[in-house]
Amino acid sequence: MPPVSSLIPPSSFLLPPCKAALLLLLLAAHSHAGEPPRPAAPSAHTQLADPAFLEQFAATRGFSLGWPSSVSVSADGRSVLFLRSPPRGFVRDLYEFDASSGKTRLVLSAERLLGGADEKLSVEELARRERMRSTARGIAAYELSEDSSRVLVPLSGSLVVVDRAGGRVRTLPSAPGHPIDPRLSPDGRWVASVRNGDLYVQGIDAPDLHRLTETGSDTLTNGLAEFVAQEEMGRFHGYWWSPDSRSIAFQETDQSGVELLHISDPLHPERAPNSFRYPRAGQPNARVRLGVVPATGGTATWVQWDHQRFPYLATVKWQRGGPLTILVQNRRQTAQQLLAVDTSTGSTRHLLTETDDAWLNLDQATPHWLEDGTGFLWSTERRGGWQVELRAPDGSLLHELTGPQLGYRSLLDVDCRRGIAWLTAAADPLEAHLYEVPLDPAAGEPRRTTTMPGVHSAVFSKQHDVYVHTAFTRQGERTQTVVGPDGRGLGQLESVAERPPFEPNVELTTVGDEPPFHAALVRPRDFDPSRRYPVVVNVYGGPQAQTVTPVPAAYLMRQWVADHGFVVVSIDGRGTPARGRDWERVIQGNLIDVPLADQVAGLGALAARYPELDLSRVGIYGWSFGGYFAAMAAMRRPDVFHVAVAGAPVADWHDYDTHYTERYLGLPDQHPEAYERSSVLTYAKQLRRPLLLIHGTADDNVYFLHSLKISDALFRAGIEHDFLPLSGHTHMVADPAVTRLVNTRIADYLVEHLRPAEAR
């Protein structure tokens, strides 16, 4: 379930899972003395909430279009490839930054490749992009070969190869079906892809085409990750090249037992519905097994593990220096095993086991095998917080490279020659910094290499000496600096994104004692400290995401809402990541009670400190889990929340997917009480406050049925409410025109129900 940080979420603001969640610096709190503030007159503020800003925000996808993305550093470190769209366009082209000259050139344009024709995407490709939260068109993705001599570009059902040395551009001969997830072999001579549910390999310099599997059907696929792997595990691939390019490991997925759900277009009843295999909580999952087959075709060797006990294939790695390695989980996600595979026989060797009484989070960056074969890096929460370990080839522990106190977020690169790993970490949950960590603790302590407060990350060359450092600072700067072997900046990747017309008026603070909460307040730009303002809570409130972030762009929409005459508040309570195992796992068996109590407590603590907050007029809005939270808040705490807007909310967790739901609530037949107390439908009859439901009819993540169930329950209870269906739109709502209109509707709804009558 995607976390979000605005009303209708641009894909650029979808926050990644757990350890990469955005963090923030604390700002000093202040207090007011003197006379009580006067009620604000919101009508005076609406002039600041300029509709032209909303138009610009929607057209630029939250000012993210035009930023370099999908960055790759060439093997020799001499150039950086990246994708970039126009500032108001979704079609991306491929560019190259030359490190020696500092100049950028266009390598390949989608317009040139398409020759003016419309881009064609299959239903399967569109669904895959939905899972990846990608709204890009044109050159939406590319792959740089390991030696950097070639670039593979999939576009509109074709596969284009660029030879970088001479600039030759060629389209590979067509093959059956639409290629899904095409990828180069490590030696750069072959391209594998999935077509009509089967795995194919075709040569680049020769017309060879090898069909590696022949069992693809409507219910069985080869080489594709199943829905929950893409949506919930962060695993988007279903096949893996061997390091020597001679073999491929592939996932066979049997979905014959998975429930088939249908999504029709209400505006076009003449069209047949799209159908998707979607495993609802407690229902059968896809049956997955892993095979290994020669890249030129042959008989598959099937990998052996205890499928009954560990049905989930969570992670697969096939890296230089290590064997084919798999991580398998039990259905409850309380136990997982890391296994090394003998690809000649399919037998597996146990490396390690992880258990947790609540659940186990996944980190797709590990295991990471060292290229010299001396071991692998592993991440774990075993000691109450994320940390990184070095383990021997047999899985035994060699060293703890970081302790839980460092606050590991993600593994970026490993340089065996220098004996260091690069990762992001921060003890402060409101920061993320680059660290160099020695693989031998005797060589020294982890060394922080970034100083500017904010969130930092990096992409490294295969030689580990040149990297692109991305920094989001508290001051609102976003830079992408190419750093050379000596640590000197070689230049910046150029952005053509439009700049926002204003800086958000944000204050970051902590409130409360047991426990303390991180919070953000966004005040109107013409804020008058002598007045009192209605409060609007922008909420997510669930696992894997934080709403308090150091990225000012994340507050632009909140600022637009605030400029209607509100103070917009965000609070990260328990259940959110980056504050240790116990903080996050307090929601086990109950997704709402503690998080809702924390929002209420946080609001009270903020109002005690900031008298401009008028808690007699409080609204709440959110999307996805935030929509679920907003609906629950209005139903269960009408004494606190006086109006709610719920975008794409989950109504009944029986109708959400297995891997996400069962991680937190367990299996429905074993824990029915957890599903009952976490369901919006349980409390629908209690609604006494205005509620606006918004939902895309084509949503294949949180299906439209969720909002229909809420509306039906309210209707049958005789409770008035408002409902805005978005015909044909998915969970992301990518259309800028719809983004603009829906955000206007949401703001108007909050204004209508929170402004005093005399100000309307």
Q: How many CA atoms lie within 13 A of 692 on its CB side?
A: 26
* Cα–Cα separations (whole angstroms), residue 570 to 45, 509, 546: 21, 10, 9
Q: Are 665 and 657 spatial neighbours (Cβ–Cβ below 8 Å)?
A: no
Among the listed residues 563, 699, 706, 711, the single catalytic one is 699
33: Cβ contacts below 8 Å, ≥ 6 apart:
none
**Which one of the listed residues 45, 178, 564, 731 is annotated catalytic?**
731
Do 248 and 192 form a contact (C-beta atoms < 8 A)? Answer: yes
| DSSP 8-state class, residue 648 | S
Instruction: Assess contact for 691 and 721: CB atoms under 8 A.
Output: yes
List CB contacts of 28: < 8 A, sequence separation 6 or more. Answer: 509
Annotated active-site residue 210? The verdict is no
Q: Which of 454, 477, 480, 476 is nearest to 467 (CA)?
A: 480
Long-range contacts of 374-382 (CB under 8 A, 24+ apart): 374/321, 374/416, 376/322, 376/325, 377/401, 377/411, 377/414, 377/421, 378/338, 378/352, 379/408, 379/411, 380/354, 381/356, 381/581, 382/354
109 is catalytic: no
- Tokens for 581, please give them: 């195992």
CA distance 348 to 664: 30
Q: How many CB atoms lie within 10 A of CB 350?
A: 12
* Contact criterion met (CB below 8 Å) for 453 and 473: yes
Task: Please answer whether residues 257 and 279 qualify as being in contact, where contact means their C-beta atoms are separated by less than 8 angstroms.
Answer: no
Query: Running DSSP on this structure, what letter comes out for residue 722?
Result: E
421 and 411 in contact (C-beta within 8 Å)? Answer: yes
Beta bridge partners of 643: 619
Token readout for 537 is 């809570």
Q: Can you tell me the distance from the alpha carbon of 471 to that of 514, in angstroms, rounded to the nearest whole number?
A: 33
The answer to whether residues 143 and 183 touch, using CB atoms and an 8 Å cutoff, is: yes
**Distance of alpha carbon 193 from alpha carbon 241, whole angstroms:** 11
DSSP states along 65-109? TTS-EEEEE-TTSSEEEEEE--TT--EEEEEEEETTT--EEEEE-
DSSP-derived 3-state class of residue 3:
coil
* Ordered DSSP codes for 202-235: EESSS--EEE------SSEEES---HHIIIII--
Distance CA(413)–CA(368), nearest Å, equals: 9
Query: CA separation (Å) from 85 to 148, 154, 299, 382, 470?
Result: 23, 16, 44, 42, 18
Specify the amino acid at residue 133. Answer: R
Which of 80, 84, 104 is closest to 93 using CA atoms?
84
287 class by beta-carbon count within 10 Å (0-12 exposed, 13-18 middle, 19+ buried): middle
> Angle of helix 625-636 relative to helix 593-609, nearest 10 degrees?
70
Query: Does residue 368 carry a catalytic annotation?
Result: no
Report the distance separating Cα 447 and Cα 439, nearest Å.
12
Contact 533, 524 (CB under 8 A): yes
* 569, 509 contact by CB (below 8 A): no
Residues 6+ apart with CB under 8 A from 541: 573, 575, 576, 595, 596, 599, 622, 625, 626, 629
Q: Report CA torsion sign: 88, 729, 668, 237.
A: negative
Q: Which of 5, 74, 624, 678 is catalytic?
A: 624
List active site positions: 624, 699, 731
